[in-house]
Structure formats: structure tokens, C-alpha cells
Amino acid sequence: MPKQQRFSLPPTIDDLSAAPLVVKDALRGIRLKLRNLAPNIDETGLFVQNHLPLSPLAIATTLFNETRKITLLGEDIARDVLLRHRDEARLTAFAGSGFGSNVSPLPEHQRHDYVSSRYAALKILAGQFKADELLILEQPIDMAYLTLLGRFSDVSLASSSKNTINFDKIAISTIELEKSGAVNSPNSGTQAPRLGQLIFAALGLAETILALSTNHSVESTLAALNLAADVIVLRKPSIAAIFDGLDPEAQLSAEYRLLAPPLTEA
Amino acid sequence: MRLPMVAELNGESDLRHRIRDLRFFEKSFRKNVQLTFPEGAMRSKTDQARLRSSFLAWLESFQANRHLATIDRKDFICFSAGSMLAELFRHDPLSISSETKSSDSATTVWPEGSAYVSYCLGVALTVLEQEFHLSAEIPEYANDPRIWQSFKENVQDNPDLAIPFLDMLLGQSPNWNEPATAEKRPAVKAKSTPVLST
């Protein structure tokens, strides 16, 4: 029996490009775990001031608190240094980096814009859905982007006019992103639609609204995300039926055709 | 009955398209409430989620039936306004607390209902005027409190009955039996080409 190779293939250019995203996502996962593990004690160091011998639990708690402080400090520094990467700033690329406006094929540099702007938009939408602590990962968005890029090279998906909005492509992108695992939504049993489905449906609706609009400023993008989230909440039964239906891509496309024009600012 | 929004809506060119814009719908609805209840004694509150739900439900009905506009455009305008009224009744976004009685019988009997009717009637009349240069007169019985009492009871039982009620106010033949089925409207049935059997 041949010995199993530890590394099957050397990394491709795509793998190398995605490497920073993998690291960032791993850190996000760790950060979320640390937050969820936080014990319910104050952080004034009361345990440390007590001169009695510390129990193993107290030592662990103290160490944890110190680690948490360092994490928070790191976050603060990162925010200051990477100001231009704040979520809202990243949204400038949201409207122009999607697949719905028929700029085909998307230039390679748009891969970064697509991933980072969608990550930022998902974070904002998670907030709209009162799920700020939701773990959102960039690498699955990147993987979805590459899949979609391959899929949209098919001429049958091209629109007849370069100026028309391709609702189908937006719907396909939305379903692909939802399947990607970019949003790790908690399993709420039989409850439908799932939170992740609502968030992605809102993301696609916001993209469609912006594709129909000529105003792509950060303010308009935020307004579109806000309105899309509100409307998708009101359409919960339809969204559940779409994701559980036989042809979710076609159904979601029809939903966007129905909803987006009346939501687009004249 | 009072129709305070007609003048405002007439200032909007191409109202039949503008009304399909959620932002415009919300804004004009709120303005109508403001104009209908200007007195300080009446306080109104509009639930945004319910208002949006009524718009989205109306939009679905509008898109599903819009092919019928080619059969009788005027009738379709009346039906669309009636559908909007039905969805407003179904989702009931407005709540009004009043301490004094209004001089308007409709407002006295049912303040929320009269606000919904005055808005949808205003939209229908304005679109009819813009599209066909028609200026329909509101019948006298629209000021009869008994009509409003009866309308209130019926609509609370079945919100779709708002459609034939609005038809009556607009002088259009109503369909009381299947009010939400656009194909069964008298004007549509009269103009539909019968299918020839081979």
C-alpha cells in the first residue's frame, strides 16, 4: 500500500492568494471562542489581589483575562492602523464588484474587492439582524468567488445587453455564497428560514437595488443594506420557501425582480 | 368624505409609476394621515413594518395581475387601488387615538379606515385624471355614517371587500363574490375574448 502523501499538491496561485484570508479567518474563530468562553467575573483582578494560594481554576481565569486584554489591545491597534479597512470604507467596492452588472469577466483585482466588500456588508447585515457575534469568514467568500467566476464564463448566463441587470447572476451568487459557509449561523433546529439564509437574501437584494441605482456611495450602500434587511424580514415565508424549494436560484431571481425596483431610489 | 391628498398627488407626474416606489408610498401615506387628521386632538401612529408589509403584499398582487391592464386599463387602475386598500386593511398599520369628534362622518365612525380609503381613493382619482383626464365625482352616500358602519363590519370580516367598495366610490362595476380575483371583474369579463372551441 503506497504511503499516504502528507501534502498532495503544491499550492496554486489561488491558494497563495487566499492564504492571508485563511489566517484572518482562523484568528476570527479564535477570537470568537475566547469571547464565548469568557467567565462571568469582573476584570479588576480581584483574584490576583487575594494572597491566598490560587486554585487551578483561578489561575486559568486570570490567564484568560490577561489574554483577553491583549486581544482587545491588539484589536484597538489594528483598528487604528487599518482605518481604511473599516467595514464602511470597504463598502465602496460593494456595488461595482458583483456579478449582476455584466462586467464580464471580472478583472483579477476585483477578487479582493468582491471578498472584502461582501465580508463588510455581511458584518453590517449581521448587526441589522441583531447577530453581531456571528462568525463571518472571508475565505469561503473567496472560494465562492472563484466558483462563480468559472460558472459565469458560460455564455448561456450572459445577458443580452451590457446595461441590463442580470438578476439571475445575482441570485446564483447569493445561493453560492450561502452554501459557502461564510456565515456560520447557529443551527436553530427546524426553524426556517435560517438566519444565514436571511442575511444572504438581504445581501443579494441590496446588490440588486444598487445594480438598479446610479448612486453607489457608501451612504447609499448602507441605506440599501438597511432597507434590504428590513424587507427580507417581512418576506420570511417567501425566503423560507425559496431556500427549501426545487429551484432556489430561479425563485430568488424572481423575488429580486419583484422587490428590487420598488426599493430603488428614483 | 375628505380627500386631502389629491392636490398633492396631482403634483407628482407619472403617479402610476411613482406609487410603485416603496419610499414614495410611505412618504405619501404618512402625508395623507397628516392632512386627514390635522387637529391636535387626534394622534396617529403608523407602524412602519405593517405599512411595508401592506405595500409588499400589494406589489405581489399588482405584478400577478398586471397583464389584465391590457384588457381594460381604467378598470385595472381601480382594481389596483382596491387591492392596495385591501392590504392596508389586512395589515392595519395605522392607529389613531382621538378625544374629540370630527366633523367628517367617515372619520368619526372609523378614523383608520377613512384614512386608508382617502389615500387609495386619492391615488386612484389622480392616476385616472393623469391617464384618462377623468375627474370622477364621489357619490353622496360616501358621507353617510351608516355606509361606513356597514363597510367597517364587512371589511373586518373580509378585507378583500374593500375592492368592490372602492369600485362603488369610483363608479366602477363591483364584484362582491370574488373581489380579489381580477379575471372575474365585470369589466374584464365583458372585454375578454371568448375562447373558440375547435
Asked if A231's CB is within 8 angstroms of B53's CB, the reply is: no
Which segment of A190-194, A208-212, B13-17, B102-106 scores lowest on mean pLDDT?
B102-106
Query: Is a pLDDT exceeding 90 seen at residue B128?
Result: yes
- Taking each helix axis from N to C end, the angle separating A236-244 and A195-212, rounded to the nearest 10 degrees, works out to 100
Residue B20 Cα, gap to closest chain A Cα (Å): 5
Preceding peptide of B194 cis, ω within 30°: no
pLDDT tens sequence across B136-194: 778 888 888 888 889 999 999 999 999 999 999 999 999 999 999 998 999 888 887 66
Asked if B53's CB is within 8 angstroms of A259's CB, the reply is: no
Closest residue in A to B20 (Cα–Cα): A262
Interatomic CA distance for residues A104 and A114, integer angstroms: 14
Residue from B21, B24, B90, B91 to probe the interface with A (highest A Cβ count within 10 Å)? B21
At A265, is the secondary structure helix, strand, or coil?
coil
What per-residue string of b and e applies to A18-48 under the rule 16 or more CB within 10 Å gives b? beebeeebeeeeebeeeeeeeeeeeeeeebe
Please give the interface size between A and B, counted as residue pairs whose CB atoms are below 8 Å apart. 31
Whole-number mean pLDDT of chain B? 88
Query: What pLDDT does residue A10 have?
Result: 58
pLDDT tens sequence across A58-84: 878 878 887 877 776 666 556 545 554
Asked if B21's CB is within 8 angstroms of A262's CB, the reply is: yes
Query: What pLDDT does residue A6 have?
Result: 47
pLDDT tens sequence across A198-209: 999 999 999 999
Interatomic CA distance for residues B192 and B160, integer angstroms: 23
Residue B127 Cα, gap to closest chain A Cα (Å): 18
* Overall average pLDDT of the B54-72 stretch: 94
Element at B28 (helix H, strand E): helix B22-36
Closest residue in B to A234 (Cα–Cα): B53
Interatomic CA distance for residues B90 and B58, integer angstroms: 11
Interatomic CA distance for residues A192 and B71, integer angstroms: 40
Asked if B53's CB is within 8 angstroms of A234's CB, the reply is: yes
More confident position, A242 or B145:
A242
* Overall average pLDDT of the A96-122 stretch: 78
Residue A258 Cα, gap to closest chain B Cα (Å): 7
Query: Is a pLDDT exceeding 60 seen at residue A243?
Result: yes
Please, which residues have CB within 8 angstroms of residue A198's CB and are 6 or more apart in sequence? Answer: A129, A232, A233, A236, A239
Query: Is a pLDDT exceeding 80 seen at residue B117?
Result: yes
What confidence category does residue A11 fall into, taking pLDDT thresholds of 50, 70 and 90?
A: low
Cα A32 versus chain centre, distance = 15
At B45, is the secondary structure helix, strand, or coil?
strand
What confidence category does residue A47 fall into, taking pLDDT thresholds of 50, 70 and 90?
A: very low
Interatomic CA distance for residues B155 and B171, integer angstroms: 19
Interatomic CA distance for residues A83 and B47, integer angstroms: 38
Question: Residue A231: its chain B contacts at CB < 8 A?
Answer: 22, 52, 56
Query: What pLDDT does residue A133 have?
Result: 83
Cell output for A34? 475566547
Query: Is a pLDDT exceeding 90 seen at residue A185?
Result: no
From residue A179, alpha-carbon distances to A93, A110, A147, A153, B162 in Å are 23, 21, 12, 20, 43
Cα A186 versus chain centre, distance = 15
Asked if B56's CB is within 8 angstroms of A259's CB, the reply is: yes
Number of CB atoms found within 10 A of residue A181's CB: 15
- Taking each helix axis from N to C end, the angle separating B73-91 and B111-132, rounded to the nearest 10 degrees, works out to 160
Please, which residues have CB within 8 angstroms of residue B96's CB and are 6 or more apart in sequence? Answer: B37, B42, B43, B44, B45, B111, B112, B115
pLDDT tens sequence across B69-96: 999 999 999 999 999 999 999 999 999 8
Query: Is a pLDDT exceeding 50 seen at residue A7?
Result: no
What confidence category does residue A45 fall into, taking pLDDT thresholds of 50, 70 and 90?
A: very low
Query: What pLDDT does residue A155 have?
Result: 55
Interatomic CA distance for residues B98 and B100, integer angstroms: 6
Interatomic CA distance for residues B12 and B15, integer angstroms: 6
ipTM, 2 dp: 0.85
Cβ contact B36:B3 at 8 Å: no
More confident position, A154 or A239:
A239
Query: What pLDDT does residue A91 have?
Result: 82
Exposed/middle/buried for residue B52 (C-beta within 10 Å: 0-12, 13-18, 19+): buried
Q: Which of A231, A259, A266 sits opposite B21 (nearest CB)?
A: A266
Closest residue in A to B51 (Cα–Cα): A234
| Widest CA span in chain B | 67
More confident position, A127 or A163:
A127
Question: Dihedral sign, CA of A174, A176, A178, A184?
Answer: negative
Query: What pLDDT does residue A157 have?
Result: 55
Query: What pLDDT does residue A57 have?
Result: 81
C-alpha dihedral, A110 to A114 to A115 to A119, nearest 10°: 150
More confident position, B48 or A216:
B48
Query: Is a pLDDT exceeding 80 seen at residue A171?
Result: yes
Q: What are the beta bridge partners of residue B44?
A: B96
More confident position, A45 or B107:
B107
Query: What pLDDT does residue A181 have?
Result: 92
Number of CB atoms found within 10 A of residue B43's CB: 12
* Overall average pLDDT of the B24-51 stretch: 88
Query: Is a pLDDT exceeding 50 seen at residue A107?
Result: yes
Query: Is a pLDDT exceeding 80 seen at residue A250?
Result: yes
DSSP A172-217: HHHHHHHHHT-EE----TT-SS-HHHHHHHHHHHHHHHHHH-S--S
Question: Residue B25: its chain A contacts at CB < 8 A?
Answer: 262
Asked if B24's CB is within 8 angstroms of A266's CB, the reply is: yes
Please, which residues have CB within 8 angstroms of residue A67's CB and are 6 or more apart in sequence? Answer: A34
Interatomic CA distance for residues A221 and A227, integer angstroms: 10
Query: Is a pLDDT exceeding 60 seen at residue A37?
Result: no
Residue from A232, A263, A264 to probe the interface with B (highest B Cβ count within 10 Å)? A263
Residue A232 Cα, gap to closest chain B Cα (Å): 11
